[in-house]
Chain A
C-alpha cells in the first residue's frame, strides 16, 4: 500500500505541494493529471525522495517516513525506500555507457548484490517482457526513443519494486512511438503491477487507471475513478482544464 498524508513541499518561497493526501491499494493504477506547473512531477518525485517533502507522512509498503522541516533524511532510509520503488523518466535517462541488458542488470548487481548470471537471466526475462529480447547488446544511442523507454521500464522493474512511478513516459516520444510504450504499461497493469503515472494522455488514463487524481495549484481538486473525474468532473476548474484538453485533442 502507498499512502501520503498532508504532504507539503516548497522550493524557496514557492509552495508547490500544499497538503496532499492519497492512498493507493496494491495492484492498482493511479493516473495523475493536471495543468503544467500544478506540481505533478514534484509529487511523483516525493515518492522516491528525489524531492524531499518539507512536511507530511509517506508510506510505501512496510516503510513509513515522517518529514519535518529541517530534519534530514538519512541515506540509509532513502535507499531502503528507493529499493521499493522504480521510476521511469520523461527523458529515459538510460546509462549510455552500458548496453540494454547491462542497464537492467545494474541494480541487481550493484544494489541487490545478486550474481552476474542470475541478474543476466532476470534482465533477459524483462527484456522479453518489453518485447526487446533481440536488443540486449545494443547501446542506448543505437535504439529508438520508444525502445529506450521500454528498456527504462525494464530497468525500473528489475528491483521488483512495490510501485512503479512514471513521469509523462511518452511525452518525449515521436507520436508513432507512443503506442508501443503505452502497450507495455497496459500489460504491466494487467499483470497487477502497482503504478502511479503522471500523464497528459487522457484516453490512456481512462483505459489503464483505476483511479485518477486531478491536481491544480499544488492541491488535489478532483479524485476518483476515471469515469467520474474525466467524464463527470464536479469543480469548475476541473471542467475548464478538461475542456481545454478536449479542444486540443480534436
Chain B
C-alpha cells in the first residue's frame, strides 16, 4: 500500500464505522424487531383454525419468499410513488426488511411451534386452558427456545442485507462506501474496508449467538 492509500483508508474508516453504527445497525434492529412481530403473527395465522387467515398468511409468505429482496425494495421505493405513495428511504427500507424477516421468520416460528410435543398441548388442555392460553403459557415459551438459534442467523443475514438499502438511497454504511470510493477512485480499498466492518459486526453477533445457544442448552430438558 502506498502512503496515499493508507491515508485514505484511515480517513474513511471512521465515517464508515459511524455509518455502520448510526444507520446500518439501527435499520437492522428496527426491521428485525418489527419483523419478529410479523413473523409470530404470520406463524399463528398459518396454524389458525380460521381458513381465511391461513390463506392470507400463506399468500404473503409465498410472495415474499418467491421474489428477490432487491426487487421488493425497488417496488416499495421507486414503484409505490406511481401509486401515490412516496416513502423516504429509511421508511421504505424498514418496510422491505420487516416484510422479509416476517416471511422467513414465520417459517422458523411455525416449525418451532410444530416441534413442541403434542403431550404439551394435551397437558395444557387437561388443566382447563383454552387454545390461546395453551399457546401463550405453554407452547410459545418452549417454541421460543427452539426458534432463537435460527432467528439469530436470520439477524446476521439481515445485517448484511441492509447493504441493499444503498440502492434506494438510504445512507447506510455501504452507500457511504460507494461515495468515498467514487470520490477517491479507490474501489478495491474502500469496499474491502466496508466488507471488513461487516465481517466485524457479524463476528460479534455470531459470538453472541454462540453464548445464547449454550445458555439455552443448559436450561432445556434433555
A interface, CB within 8 angstroms of B: 48, 50, 75, 78-79, 82-83, 85-87, 89, 91, 93-97, 106-107, 110-112, 139-141, 155-156, 158-159
Contact B142 A159 (CB under 8 A): no
Q: A75 contacts B126, CB within 8 Å?
A: no
Query: Contact at A82–B123, with CB atoms within 8 Å?
Result: no
Q: Say whether, besides A89-B122, A89-B123, A94-B123, A79 and B128 are in contact (CB < 8 Å).
A: yes
Is B222 a contact of A141 with CB atoms below 8 Å?
A: yes
Minimum CB–CB distance from B128 to chain A (whole Å) comes to 4
Flag if A139 contacts B221 (CB, 8 Å): yes
**Per-residue 0/1 for B18-53: is the Cβ within 8 Å of any A Cβ (1 yes, 0 no)?**
000000000000000000000000000000000000
For residue B81, CB closer than 8 A to chain A, the reply is no
Contact of B138 with A by CB under 8 A: yes
| A111→B221 contact, CB < 8 A | no
Residue B83 is within 8 A (CB to CB) of chain A in the complex? no
With most chain B CB atoms within 10 A of its CB, the pick from A48, A89, A110, A156 is A110
Q: Does B127 contact A107, Cβ atoms closer than 8 Å?
A: yes
B128 x A107 contact (CB < 8 A):
yes
Asked if B130 contacts A79 (CB within 8 A), the reply is yes
Partner of A110, one of B137, B220, B222: B137
What's the Cα separation between A141 and B222 when bound, in Å? 7
- In the bound complex, what is the Cα–Cα distance between A140 and B145 (angstroms)? 16
CB distance A97 to B141 under 8 Å? yes
B148 within 8 A of A: no
**Chain A nearest CB, measured from B112 CB (Å):** 13
Question: Is the beta-carbon distance between B142 and A85 smaller than 8 angstroms?
Answer: no
SS class, residues of chain B in contact with chain A? helix
- Are B125 and A82 in touch, CB under 8 angstroms? yes
B138: nearest residue on chain A (CB-CB)?
A95
Question: Which residues of B from 201 to 222 have beta carbons under 8 Å from A?
Answer: 219-222
Q: Mark B128-141, 1 if CB is under 8 A from A, else 0.
A: 11110100011001
Establish whether residues B125 and A97, one from each chain, have CB atoms under 8 Å apart when the complex forms: no
With beta carbons under 8 angstroms apart, the residue of B131, B133, B220 that contacts A96 is B220
Return B115 CB to nearest CB of chain A, in Å. 13
List, in ascending order, chain B residues with CB within 8 A of A139's CB: 219, 221
Whether B127 pairs with A82 at a CB distance below 8 angstroms is yes
How far is A87 from B126 in the complex, measured between Cα atoms in Å?
6
Q: Does B120 contact A (CB under 8 A)?
A: yes
Given A110-B137, A140-B221: A95 in contact with B123 (beta carbons within 8 A): yes
Q: In whole angstroms, how far apart are the Cα atoms of A106 and B125 in the complex?
A: 12
**Cβ-defined partner of A93 (8 Å) among B122, B128, B133, B220:** B122
Kindly state the separation between the CA atoms of A82 and B124 in the bound complex, as whole angstroms.
10
Residue B84 at the A interface, CB < 8 A? no
A81 to chain B, nearest CB (A): 9
Contacts of A86 in B (CB 8 A): 126-127
Flag if B119 contacts A156 (CB, 8 Å).
Answer: no
- Whether the Cβ atoms of B128 and A159 lie closer than 8 Å is yes
For B133, the chain A residues whose CB sits under 8 A away are: 110-111
In the docked arrangement, what's the CA distance between A107 and B129, Å? 8
Hey, which chain A residues are within 8 Å of B120, CB to CB? 93, 95
CB distance from B215 to the nearest CB of A (A): 13
Q: A95 CA to B122 CA in the complex, in Å?
A: 11
In angstroms, how far is the closest chain B Cβ from the Cβ of A19? Answer: 25
Query: Do B128 and A111 have beta carbons less than 8 Å apart?
Result: yes
Q: Which of A50, A91, A110 contacts B125 (CB 8 A)?
A: A50
Q: Which residue of B lies closest to A75 (CB)?
A: B130
